[in-house]
Amino acid sequence: MNLHGVALGADSMVTLGRRRGGRVSQPVARKISIVSAKAPVAAMTNDNALFVGVPWTLVLERFGVHCGETPLPFDEYRDRLVTFLADFDALSGMEGRDGHELDSFNEYIFGFVIDYWRKAAQLSRDFEVEFGEGLASAALGQLRHDVLFIAPDADDAGAEASEPIARDAIAPTPRLMSFVAEHLPDALENALGYVFQGVEVPEAIVPALAELASQSILVEWIPEFSSDSQLILAGFGAGAITPSLLAMDIAGAFAGRLKYAITDRVDAGAGQRMFIKTFAQAQLGTAMLSGARPTFEALAMRECRDEVLDLVFKALSAARLSEKVANALARDILFDSQAALQRGMDRAKAHHNAHFRAQFDPLLHTADAATLAAFARKMVEVTVLEHELLRADSVGRPIRVVTLTRDGVRTDIDGETQ
């Protein structure tokens, strides 16, 4: 994206199914839908090809009709999209819609329990203790902090000393709270049984875990591993002279509540002349932009964390503290050091990205629609080539690029303008 336009590029393979039910990949006509040709605004999806059992292409086609032909401000498209996706009545009559509301809720609670299990497993590994009430309570405390508060921005001066910020919350509706009260007990019990695989979660912890799950539905938070689909909305909107882009992870919709998280919001011209972003399975593209493949970054963070923890335990042992005091101090230090490691990793990626931008800014900040389209196609090509070399069928050709400028919409398939 630059000051003149935005190019969205995608391959032609989609994923069907959920984590627990098995997933398959198959070709699809398109992942990019035109919401408004006059504005112009388009939407691109990845990961699960279905939303509440309905193909995203049909959902976004219906959304375009819902918005009408008259161009709207870009933020109006965003607000209407959130309301539209939360309203199951808007999708009435679409084949596959019925019965997916509860499934969406169960998957959300499943992701919530996975987040809890990962924290408990990490604490058990760090402190070499069995899963009991003390460890279960500590993991719950960490998860509660994640759910209810936003960590200070790593780029802010004095971020280490800043107080966490409470997340925005919505007012509960009778419909939503009745739905949660009816379905949460079974959803939580089933998820705990599936995730913990026979390991008994202390009985005293379950009510507090259920309460936190209910609270999580009312705040602007989604579990780390609950994203079912990702949606990118981009374009101009009424009266705009430069484009905007919004990316959101969608965890599901139930009882009039869309659970989503905004992962990116960029307005060209607001101190940003050029913007490049990769999504979904673009490991090599992400490495080019940030300096590290996501899988490598996760491994590096884990290894650094283990080294820090080993040094902490050695220092505390040398201080001849009691085991109880040493473990308590180690837990506090570990929590702080993990946040510090993440801030350091984020700064390193930001430095690498700044270097990358310095190279590409002169090439792209004045590029026309054809140049933007060609660059977007090559970025997708990197991911396609990686999967072709590995003989993985989750990414495939043809590559479709939709470019939005003030002059209208341009569509290219494998480099050929349609």
CA pair distance 376, 378, nearest whole angstrom? 5
Q: Is the pTM of the predicted complex or chain greater than 0.75? A: yes
pLDDT for 27 equals: 74
pLDDT for 95 equals: 47
pLDDT for 158 equals: 46
CB 163 within 8 A of CB 179: no
Q: List, in sequence order, every residue forming a beta bridge with 15; answer none if it has no partner.
A: 25, 48
CA pair distance 151, 346, nearest whole angstrom? 13
Largest CA distance in the chain: 73
pLDDT for 157 equals: 44
CB 274 within 8 A of CB 232: no
pLDDT for 90 equals: 58
What tokens appear for 41 in the block?
């605004």
**Which residue intervals of 202-293 are DSSP H helices?**
206-218, 283-290
Structural domains in the chain, sorted by start: 5-95+227-274+400-417 (3.60.20), 99-219 (no CATH)
At 393, is the secondary structure helix, strand, or coil? coil
pLDDT for 242 equals: 93
Q: Which helix (H) or strand (E) holds 36?
A: strand 32-36
What sign does the CA torsion over 276, 164, 250, 38 have? negative
Q: Which residues of the chain have pLDDT under 50?
A: 95-98, 154-159, 161
What tokens appear for 26 in the block?
């198959």
Name the amino acid, one letter, at 31: K
